[in-house]
Structure 1
């Protein structure tokens, strides 16, 4: 792994660890420091990486989260009953250009993915999601991206990449590895109608803020099929972030965003996680730290019951609808549900990587009443594109 891009954690932060109890995270994980050097990655499950890159922010401001403040808040939290090994690789130095930073982050992410290590990236603007996405180019697989954001971040077609337009580059720039894009928490008045229409035309999934707040469990199947998860912390309401300028009065509260992060961690398929647009307030740093804690908690309680791993651990249900049989599978380990999506033999979109789609028990019950799940219909449409 090329460690030239990474700088050690600041000594002032490590000095803070000496005041913490031994059970605190700061005293329980391996940290990249000037004294100890870079941690070994053998047996590591998650690696934290700070990124101090804000040059492509849509609105330039001075109140960005300082990486050392995030670490102070994160290191002081206590470890859960975790068995997975965690390391902090330090900070990615901003390159001479933003493109240099993208290249470095993409290279580091790709290396960690190949080693089976989940990169947990924090800090910086959300356009860094593009760099993490490009890391999957080396994996030769289609990618499912989930963002937690009040906006879709499509921007204008000819706009230079920014924190509000990176999705255009993901969709348009080759190689085109994106299979599905899901947004959680969008607010209608933050998005042009053309963007909402585009989500429909591309058969992408979008969940309005009110829908998720009403029942946060509806997003669990979305994460179960994700590879890359990107969280824009401004999707959290201003009151929970410390009420800094540019924040939204509406959004998720602290408990809801932490539950969402936990769902992301529980997913057996999520292989990278990014937390961006963090705030400089002490309250914002605390919430960001707790959000990462919940993601790590989720990873540590993964059930590893993805259907392709062991079909014997599933109960199969056949639901006849019209002139077809819909096949549902329920895990005997976790009680989670999947629905089979028939492959289209004439498809040329490299979508053969799976035929089982996560769903809910409610969708199974509605199918028994003749209602075809919307997520199944969208998946079938993608198969023939």
Structure 2
């Protein structure tokens, strides 16, 4: 049997199931009706709800029970369902399982069924109980879930964590439940899923028939299909040159000569040409070309010497424009001209270039020393004598404490 034949047989089975479900749906529609207000199906003859909740509890793990003289040795599950009725009231139904011995992993494996729930809005509550010899039974753990989480009408099976006083415990409970609130909607959903599967299989069969029914290619097409393989020259990889072992000087040798700082330092012009840079002028200290006068006697001797008439250039300038007013020595110095008067104490400043301030990093302050504060004066009076020498002990010699 080919794959297509198998698909055809499966299509027949799905269509038969779809026909059977359709017949069951028509029968349910004659018996039930859907109530959109409560969200459940109701019977046509009595008006009672047809909703059903199936609950199966398997067991637990890490369940901690009380130990004591009054504590019992058996446990059970109490299931409570609370629903909101159509009149606004609350309907509560409760069922319990059989009692089993207490332990870390108790087992029940029981099924509880709740029939005729009035609405799909409510709460499902599970309580793990421990039997007590005197008084009410003890609640070991609780789990609550809304019925709205079961609206899909599918079975839910999962380990759930128990709580006590709104705090999570290490105890867990395994159970499964299904809320069949509307048999009509559940049947319609099953029929829709079956129809979708049938449509997909019909599409698969149609594609297969289209592929099988395509015409075979002619001889010319076959010749064109068998194209010649690509022809080309084989590329041979070039042999890589042998590389010597790397040393710590290989990184320095890899730089161009112009980038090496400690080489070719003697020939600065060659280095500047290689680096394509202009030669840099070094900073030089300004040297005074005139004789420096240091002592007072030399200054007085220079002052007593006969005065010079100035340079010929200065005389020519003075004769060319006699109308210009005469300026003193300080003004001539500012303009760079030599005056006819001679000032021995300002001889160094006539031709020497102005010096720049030395970059020492410290501000030049000529402020007088600050007056010591009162605290400093008291400290000096306590720890120094009249001559300013430090005392041997504060307040003179003191007698020993013993």
How does the TM-score come out when normalised to structure 2?
0.19
Asked which structure has the greater CA Rg, the reply is: 2
Structure (1 or 2) with the greater helix fraction: 1
Higher relative contact order (CA 8 A, sep 6+): 1
TM-score by length of 1: 0.20
